[in-house]
Amino acid sequence: ERRRKADGAKAAKEVTRMVRERDKTTKQQARSDEQLLAGKHKMKQITAVIDTRLAQTGFGRQVSDLFDQHLEAGKKSPFMFKYEELPLEYSITWRYHAPSDVPIGPPPTSVSSGGGGGG
């Protein structure tokens, strides 16, 4: 009789432990899902985007050289850079994105253009 009660108590403890573990996993998954929905996973890396017109000036070349020196020094760069024609001339902007080994381009446009598709 004692042995059966002891086995029952062990089983109850194991069930309780399993329920706690499942609840913990469920909470972690909910937190992870919330972060994905909020876009927080995209904030892990930055790409600096330098306007092509700025890149042709002395200041733009200095900025590019500083970015290159940081990479050449073997340090882990918190962001990468690329050149694009930006709407605001002579400007620099930043793109937050998921980790990548290459600079990230512009986000895809959600507005479709009228002409070029097939049909």
Higher-confidence residue of 64 and 102: namely 64
Q: CA-to-CA distance for 31 and 117, rounded, in angstroms?
A: 40
Amino acid identity for residue 78 in this structure = P
What is the SS3 assignment for 3? Answer: helix
Model confidence pLDDT, tens digit, residues 57-101: 999 999 888 887 765 555 555 568 889 999 999 999 888 776 677
What is the SS3 assignment for 92? Answer: strand
Average pLDDT, the chain: 77
The two beta strands, 79-84 and 92-97, are unpaired
Is a pLDDT exceeding 60 seen at residue 111?
A: no
Closest CA to 42 of 105, 102, 96: 96
Query: Strand locations in the chain, DSSP E?
Result: 45-51, 79-84, 92-97
What is the SS3 assignment for 22? Answer: helix
